[in-house]
Structure 1
């Protein structure tokens, strides 16, 4: 088995940082849409907005869990580096393995969130197409 060095967990820093930036941008975009829909709902009391709010609530929760697992992965990478520094290599290998699993979970949640987003967009596209067919 190849020995784990400080550079191995350090390589994930830039990848995880970019992933977290993307997750944060998604979260901020959802927040803006939710605030807009909230204002529209308070103004018109349009019940058709409620399914969109429910969908966005699910997506925000998924994004939150994506962020939690991504940050946990980064923290475990830092812990791995510390354990390597103090010559606790066996524990470091296990902690790094856990960090990779957390990153995998985060990315799997991203796939699920993208599927939900695509379904929501397809619903809007079909709604527009149906509206155009009526004209």
Structure 2
């Protein structure tokens, strides 16, 4: 096996940081939408809004998991750098590999959340099309 240097895990810092920022922005957008839907539901309860809220609950849970795995990946990259600094190559490689797996899990959950988001948008588009044809 080749030697792992301090710069290898350090390369992931900007990528993971940007990823976590994107996840946080998604979370904030969904939180604002949930608050808006809550107000709408208080004024005019409907099954459509309940379905949207259920969808958003699932997306919030996914984003929480995405953030958890992303942060855990970043933590393991830092730990890996410490282990490499302490001249613990083998353990450092295992920790770095685990960090990469967690990052992949985070990205996989992100793909799933995007698919749910697209499905929700398609429901809105279908509802618009149905309203257009009934007029």
**1:16-66 deviation line (CA, Å, top 9, x unaligned):** 000000000000000000001111111223332100000000000000000
TM-score of the superposition, structure 1-length normalised? 0.98
Deviation at 1:107, TM superposition (A): 0.2
Match of 1:39 in 2: 39
Match of 2:49 in 1: 49
Match of 2:30 in 1: 30
CA RMSD of aligned residues (A): 0.7
Q: Tell me the distance in 1 between the aligned counterparts of 2:122 and 2:49.
A: 16
TM-score of the superposition, structure 2-length normalised? 0.98
Q: What secondary structure sits across from 2:11 in the alignment? A: helix
Match of 1:61 in 2: 61
Q: Which runs of 5+ in 1 are unaligned?
A: none
Q: What secondary structure sits across from 1:71 in the alignment? A: helix
Q: Which moved further from structure 2: 36-45 or 84-93?
A: 36-45
Match of 2:83 in 1: 83
Q: Which runs of 5+ in 2 are unaligned?
A: none
Q: Tell me the distance in 2 between the aligned counterparts of 1:18 and 1:49.
A: 32
**1:50-105 deviation line (CA, Å, top 9, x unaligned):** 00000000000000000000000000000000000011111000000000000000
Q: Tell me the distance in 2 between the aligned counterparts of 1:111 and 1:95.
A: 25
Match of 2:15 in 1: 15
Matching of residue 117 in structure 1 with residue 117 in structure 2: yes
